[in-house]
Amino acid sequence: MKNILLIMMGLLKFNLLKLIVLTFISLPLFSCDKDGLVENRVSGSALGTTYSIVFYDSVPRDIQKNVDSIFVAINQSMSTYIPSSDISKINAGDSTIVVDHMFQEVFNLSKDINAKTKGYFDPTVGVLINAWGFGPGKEINLDSIRVDSLLEYVGFNKVQLQNNNTIKKAHSNIHFDFNAIAKGYAVDRLGVYLEKHGIENFLIEVGGELTAKGINVKKQKPFIVGIDDPQGMDRSIPAAKITLNNKALASSGNYRHFRVDPLTGKKFVHTVDPLTGYTKNSNVLGVTVLANSCAEADAYATSFMAMDLDESMELLSKETGIEAYFIYISVNGETRRFSTDGFSKIIME
């Protein structure tokens, strides 16, 4: 097995950073505020991206090793870029792997969101992710016949988490890919760790996905973050600023993560529609989702990029606990924005 540093530096690849975290600026590792609480900061690279954590405690606290161990555990469970991980072994056809509690939680949440999105969120899309050139597997030239044949290996109704915590697949060629939820789940696990150690005020960011609890003690205000502007050249200027308090936030967009065929010049975005098997060039440029957990926010943000905007709005009108902010191109070619009522309440003027 490659050493921990290599694992932490990027064997589990995810989307590019999509949120500008305004709270994280260059400061010492520890600093005290006027109330005597210590501001602690941890940052580094993991899951193919960067992470930052700020939290307040009565004393300086070094949690680097614990943070590293959480990322290593998630990699070992769900990284498709590590051949020895549980998910890689399952994808290779090993039906004897007993999955850990993290895999179980992500599987069950994925099953729930798969049903609520009518199949638009589907972690069994791995075989198509590879085929389109966005995964660890071999990219292939796709036509309608090949896409249809690969769709035989896609569908969350074709996999089952059994009572002994092994995975049963209807076809051996079904490949799991939890990349659209695992980054958010990592944020949640880090939050659980801090809460177990009595930390009541923190902001965690992994590759632009965030969760916040309490307030920014240093400023005695809620944590403030910014939403990336998909059409902006200067990423330090957000499309909107929001307050984040006891909620999680995740974004998705095709404006930074795509590939171009060197022969045809055709652009292929990383969002794959699991219902059609094709990449989805949507009129939605970016979507940011607010939810109770970052894993939920991450999964729904991915789903809304695969869904048509009216489908997303219909789901949001029925689903409680999920709020969203869209930047999209109208039928007239104009850039427009839409936010649900709950999301509008956290946007700063």
Give the per-residue pLDDT at 181.
Answer: 96
* Per-residue pLDDT reduced to its tens digit, 9-52: 334 443 333 444 443 333 335 555 546 789 999 999 999 899 99
Render the burial of 251-282: b for 16+ CB within 10 Å, e for the rest: bbbbbeeeeeeeeeeeebbbbbbbbebebbeb
Give the per-residue pLDDT at 149.
Answer: 85
Give the per-residue pLDDT at 131.
Answer: 82
Local structure of 334: helix, strand or coil: coil
Residue 133 gets the label, from left (phi > 0), alpha (psi -120 to 50) or beta, of left
Residue 205 has pLDDT above 50, yes or no: yes
Q: Check if the beta carbon of residue 8 is closer than 8 Å to that of residue 71.
A: yes
The residue assigned the tokens 């709020």 is 323
* Per-residue pLDDT reduced to its tens digit, 242-269: 999 999 999 988 655 444 445 554 434 4
CA distance 333 to 210: 31
Local structure of 112: helix, strand or coil: helix
Lowest average pLDDT, out of 107-111, 197-201, 219-223, 277-281, goes to 277-281
Lowest average pLDDT, out of 22-31, 154-163, 280-289, 294-303, goes to 22-31
If we measure between CA atoms, which residue out of 142, 96, 101, 150 comes closest to residue 124?
150
Report how far Cα 158 is from the mean position of its chain's Cα atoms.
23
Range 51-69 average pLDDT? 96
Report how far Cα 129 is from the mean position of its chain's Cα atoms.
16
Number of H helices, E strands in the chain: 10, 16
pLDDT band at residue 138, thresholds of 50, 70 and 90? low
Local structure of 62: helix, strand or coil: coil
Residue 136 has pLDDT above 50, yes or no: yes
If we measure between CA atoms, which residue out of 280, 346, 290, 282 comes closest to residue 310?
282
DSSP designation for 44: E
In the chain, what are the helix, strand and coil shares in percent, each to the nearest 5?
30, 25, 45
Render the burial of 228-243: b for 16+ CB within 10 Å, e for the rest: bbbeeeeeeebbbebb
pLDDT band at residue 241, thresholds of 50, 70 and 90? very high
CA distance 130 to 126: 6
If we measure between CA atoms, which residue out of 309, 287, 102, 71 comes closest to residue 190?
71
Return the higher-pLDDT residue of 287 and 280.
287
Give the per-residue pLDDT at 31.
Answer: 56
Local structure of 104: helix, strand or coil: helix
CA distance 291 to 295: 9
Q: Check if the beta carbon of residue 48 is closer than 8 Å to that of residue 13.
A: yes
Lowest average pLDDT, out of 143-147, 184-188, 283-287, 325-329, goes to 143-147
Compute the mean pLDDT over every residue in the chain, rounded to the nearest whole number.
85
Which structural domains are found in the chain, ordered by start? Answer: 4-344 (3.10.520.10)
Structure tokens at 302: 């991915």
Compute how many other C-beta atoms are within 10 angstroms of the C-beta atom of residue 198.
8
Local structure of 25: helix, strand or coil: coil
pLDDT band at residue 240, thresholds of 50, 70 and 90? very high
Lowest average pLDDT, out of 136-150, 223-237, 243-257, goes to 136-150
Range 211-216 average pLDDT? 97
